[in-house]
Structure formats: structure tokens, C-alpha cells
Amino acid sequence: MANPLYDRLFGIHAGKSTPFLHLQTGAVISHQDFLGRAAQIAHVLTHSGLKPGDRVAAQVEKSPEALALYAACVQAGLIFLPLNTAYTAEELSYFIENSGASVVVCDRRNEATLLPIARQLGAALATLNADGTGTLMDQAAGMPTSFATVTRDAEDLAAFLYTSGTTGRSKGAMLTQNNLLSNAETLVREWRFTADDVLLHALPIFHTHGLFVATNITLASGGSMIFLPKFDLDLVLTHLPQATTMMGVPTFYTRLLGDERFTRDLAARMRLFVSGSAPLLADTHAQFEARTGHRILERYGMTETNMNTSNPYAGARRAGTVGFPLPGVDLKITDPESGDTLPQGEIGVIEVRGPNVFKGYWQMPEKTAAELRADGFFITGDLGRVDEDGYVHIVGRNKDLIISGGYNIYPKEIELVLDQQPGVLESAVIGVPHPDFGETVLGLIVPEPGKAPDLEGVAETAGQALARFKHPRRLLVLDELPRNTMGKVQKNILRERYQDMFAE
Ligand code: MCA
Ligand code: AMP
């Protein structure tokens, strides 16, 4: 096949007037129209001199055109690099430089800030706004609606997704065509997606969950999506009766349950609710079933691996578990120190191997070697166990990570910013339970002797450096941080001490 990912997700729909995207306005974009737009964008990108393997960085609002940009990159053999719309200029500058992106696509609102950064890094800049306007689409309008698909191998890179790390510097996870395609095809079969499905899409499209899991599955099965700009409770409740499936982070489900308009009747046509990206509380699972009669299907994935495990479609979906390894995925539980496989039932680090597992971190061979073993197993950093029936339970993390509303936040990145503020000696950032976001960020600051840091000033400076969702929800001043005999900060003690800080 010339370009497996394009051919099997997009090319199969060539010439079809079947619906692909149902918009909030009532408009429907057919597969054919969507592919036409993607082809036009592919022409713009290649006319500007991009060659297969070049990177296209996109920080754009969710729109059909933004999705067409992804399709265009696949068709033209370019590496798509979607970026969270919340990232600040400082954060973006790092991603553009590190990836060596040749083109940056951004919203007009951010053009003035990003243009000098792009110029300095030798990248061209185009705009794409939430309403689908912008210089990218202006140029695309004059282009042909078909494009000769660029030949790619299944092992060629299709996308970079940046993920932070415990050292504070983000790493570009290199995902191949086959990583994405194999996972999409497996999930279509496992979750029984067909051309009759209508997926309610309220997730962002700059992460694995909304872009690869939801979109690629819909494309591979030939179904359609109700494509909402974001998770807006009113909009979701309005459109739910027309949908057959929905994918969300746990916050989606707790917000739905918090609204009495969300009833069994409203979910009557639905056949499947999927949850992932963060732990779904067993209590939410139970409440959801009591309200709607549906058992949420929880699955487990990562940016580096796409989806690894899933509760069964037909068998028992067990609350508090993430189900079984997907077909083709090997999963083992290992000792965090020795790396040896542990006996069944014991708690250790989850390692996974399969066609879904990424190629490594872009230009970071040491970091790649530290997490991806020579035999192909990826060390997830999640702690788990496999029960006697084979269900995988995630019981914690062997990595210092906070997951807030499905977004990953690495404390180190925030601590580095806090530590630089005037009057701050050191800091510790922890995740504490939060009723809406699951976890939220708490910043603990130890002042330099005799100093009283201006907390508002600290918050403001941190705000310029870090995306909004990473900001500590509260900053507290402590005399000192608890440490063990090795001098390591005991975050577990801090987490316990402040666990009720945001309790309802
Ligand atoms: C928005 N804010 C947040 C978050 N989202 N703060 C912390 N955590 C968040 N997740 C900020 C806003 O900037 C705003 O700031 C304030 O919180 C309140 O915003 P609100 O209107 O309540 O938020 P929202 O716009 O409704 O968004 C919440 C959300 C959204 C719907 C839960 O964050 C979301 O769609 N999350 C999904 C993330 C996702 O797709 N994750 C998948 C990653 P202020 O008011 O102060 O200005 S992929 C992955 O993890 C793996 C592979 C997997 O397994 O899927
Ligand atoms: P990311 O790096 O954004 O891809 O996030 C991946 C991390 O999200 C995993 O390593 C897990 O810690 C977490 N995660 C994803 N799905 C689940 C789930 N169903 N339950 C618990 N944690 C999850």
C-alpha cells in the first residue's frame, strides 16, 4: 500500500458523500468534502516547500479545518505535531525549536506573539482560526481538491506528541503510521464500531484521546462524529440523543452526573460510553450505571503507546480496573528496581509491548533508552497489578505526575518556575483530590530566611511561563518541607496532609 495510514483511514472514503462531521450549527461535512479540504491543505504545505518527514506544528482551536490539517499531513507524508491551545509562548518556543518544525499553524490571536519566535527558529507561519478562516485556508481555497498521496511506509513517522517528564523538559514521542493504524483497527473490532455509529466528540484534538482514539476509530469504521468545539455541558446534553457512542475523561462523566437533565432517556440511543486518560472512580461508575443503565467501559493508554488495555465490550466491565491487554499487546508487571517480572497478583511497574508502542523520543536517545527496553517493552511508570481473572488494576504511579481533568502536569516543571521567584528558597508541587478535575495542583513554598515571598507576584510570573491548567490552584508557605533520611522531599506526607484541601 502506498501510504497505509492515509489509505486505510481516509482514502477508503474517497468520493463518498456519506456524513463525517455533524456540526453544532446543523451543517454536515461529508467524507468527500472533508478529503477535498485536506487535499487543498496538502497542496499549500507542499507548495511551500515541505518534504516528507518535515514537521508541521499546530496550535489551533478545534474545527473541521484543524482536523483536515491532520489528514493533509498524513497524505503529504508530513509529521503532524498538535499542541495544547493553553500553551504559553515560552512553552511553544521550546516545542517549535525542539521538533525543528518547518511550519507553525496558529490562531490569528497568537500570530503577533508567535511570528518572531517562528522567524527566529526558521519556521514559516500560517493562521487557522476557530471559524476555519485564516491564511492557511485562504491559500487552500485556490487549490485542487485532490492530491497525489505521498508514499509512506508503515514504520515512517506520522506524528509527534510532546509529553513532559520528571526532569521538567518535554519529550517528543515519535509515533509511526503503524502505531496509530494498528491501534485504531484493534479498537474498532474490540469496541464494535461500525458505519452506523455516531460518536459525540467533545474532547480536544491535540491529544491521543480526541485525535487518535476517537477520530481514527470513526474514520476506520466509516461512522460519523458530532463534532463539538469543547466539552460544554449544555451542548453535550443537547446532542447526546443523536449519538450512539461517547468518549471522555472522568470529568465529563462527573459533570454529566452533576446535572439532573442527564437521564436514562437521554442516553437511550447510546450503545457505548468510554472513559480514560485518568482514573474513573468506582463510585462514578456505579452512579452512572444507576442513572443510565450503562456501564462505562474504562480503558488505559498513554501518549507513547496509544491504548494498552480495555475492559471487554461483551464481558464484565469491572469498576476500578482497566480491563485486559488489547490483542497484540504484551503486558507485564515488573519490580521497579530490578526490572524482573513479578508473580501474578503482585504490585509493580506496568510494562507494555506491541505494535502500538512508539519509536522513541525525538532526538533524546538516553531518555528513550531509559524507558524503552531493547526487547521492545515500554516502562510506563504506572504501578499496577493483574488480578486472578486477568483484569489490570492501576494502583498508583511510580512517576511524579498529576492528572487534572485528563491533562498531565509534571510537578518538576512548576517547581523549576517557583524556585526562581524572588524570596523563594525551594518548593514542592503536589496533586491533591479535586471534585471536578480528579486531581488539582497545590504549590508549597519555603521562603528564603527572613523573606516573605509575594504570593500574588509568584502566581503572576508562573502564569506567564506555564499554561493555565498547570497553575497551582493554591500556593501555601511552609517553614520547611518534610524530608527522609536521604534528603528527598516526602511528597506522600504532603499529599496526605492536604488531601482534603479541595474536598466538597
Ligand atoms: C481547563 N482548565 C483546567 C483544565 N481545563 N485546569 C486544570 N485542569 C484542566 N483539565 C482551566 C481553565 O483554563 C479555566 O481557567 C478553569 O480551569 C476552568 O475551566 P472550565 O471551564 O471548568 O474548564 P473546561 O474548559 O470546561 O475544561 C475542562 C475539561 C477539559 C472539559 C475537563 O480540561 C478537557 O477537555 N479535558 C480533556 C483532556 C484530554 O483530552 N486528555 C486526554 C489526554 P480559569 O477560569 O482560571 O481561566 S490523552 C491521554 O491522557 C492518554 C493517551 C489517554 O489515556 O487518553
Ligand atoms: P499521557 O501521558 O497524557 O498520555 O497520560 C498517560 C497516563 O494517564 C498514564 O500513564 C496513566 O497514568 C494515566 N491514565 C490513562 N488512562 C488511565 C486510566 N483509565 N486509569 C488511570 N490512569 C490512566
What are the residues whose beta carbons fall under 8 Å from the beta carbon of 82, sequence distance 6 or more?
58, 59, 70, 159, 161, 205, 206, 207, 211
- 469, 470, 473: residue to mutate for ligand 1 pocket, most atoms within 8 A of CB: 469
What's the alpha-carbon Rg for the chain, to the nearest Å? 23
At residue 1, does pLDDT exceed 60? no
| Mean pLDDT of the region 186-197 | 98
- Ligand 1: does its nearest atom lie under 6 Å from the Cβ of 385? no
480 within some domain: yes
DSSP H or E stretch at residue 476? strand 474-477
At residue 475, does pLDDT exceed 70? yes
What is the spatial distance between Cα 227 and Cα 31, in angstroms, rounded to a whole number?
Answer: 14
332 lies in the same domain as 313: yes
Full residue range of the structural domain in which residue 116 is found: 4-190
At residue 167, does pLDDT exceed 90? no
401-435 pLDDT, tens digit each: 999 999 999 999 999 999 999 999 999 999 999 99
- Ligand 1: does its nearest atom lie under 6 Å from the Cβ of 407? yes
- 277, 307, 382: residue to mutate for ligand 1 pocket, most atoms within 8 A of CB: 277
356 within some domain: yes
213 within some domain: no
- Ligand 1: does its nearest atom lie under 6 Å from the Cβ of 250? no
At residue 129, does pLDDT exceed 80? yes
149 lies in the same domain as 272: no
- 179, 249, 466: residue to mutate for ligand 1 pocket, most atoms within 8 A of CB: 249
405 lies in the same domain as 390: no
* CB-based contact 329:354 (threshold 8 Å): yes
Q: How many domains does the chain have?
A: 3
226 within some domain: no
- Ligand 1: does its nearest atom lie under 6 Å from the Cβ of 354? no
Percent of the chain with pLDDT over 70: 99
Beta-strand runs (E) in 128-188 = 157-163, 171-176
Question: Which residues approach ligand 2 with their CB closer than 6 A?
Answer: 163, 208, 276-279, 298, 300-303, 322, 380, 382, 394, 397, 403, 408
What is the spatial distance between Cα 433 and Cα 441, in angstroms, rounded to a whole number?
Answer: 9
pLDDT at 486: 87
Pair type for strands 324-325 and 330-334: unpaired
121 lies in the same domain as 266: no
251 lies in the same domain as 354: yes
Q: Kindly give the distance from the C-alpha atom of residue 321 to the centroid of ligand 2, in angstroms, as a whole number.
A: 13
287-346 pLDDT, tens digit each: 999 999 999 999 999 999 999 999 999 999 999 999 999 999 999 999 999 999 999 999
**Which of residues 397, 428, 463 is at a domain's end?**
397
339 lies in the same domain as 384: yes
pLDDT at 265: 97
Sign of the CA dihedral with 478 first, then 480, 484, and 486 last: positive
**Phi and psi (nearest 5°) for 91?**
-65, -45
273 lies in the same domain as 360: yes
291 lies in the same domain as 335: yes
375 lies in the same domain as 242: yes
The per-residue pLDDT of the chain, averaged, comes to: 96
209 within some domain: no
**Which of residues 141, 164, 190 is at a domain's end?**
190
327 lies in the same domain as 410: no
What is the spatial distance between Cα 164 and Cα 223, in angstroms, rounded to a whole number?
Answer: 33
390 lies in the same domain as 414: no
441-454 pLDDT, tens digit each: 999 999 999 999 99
384 lies in the same domain as 414: no
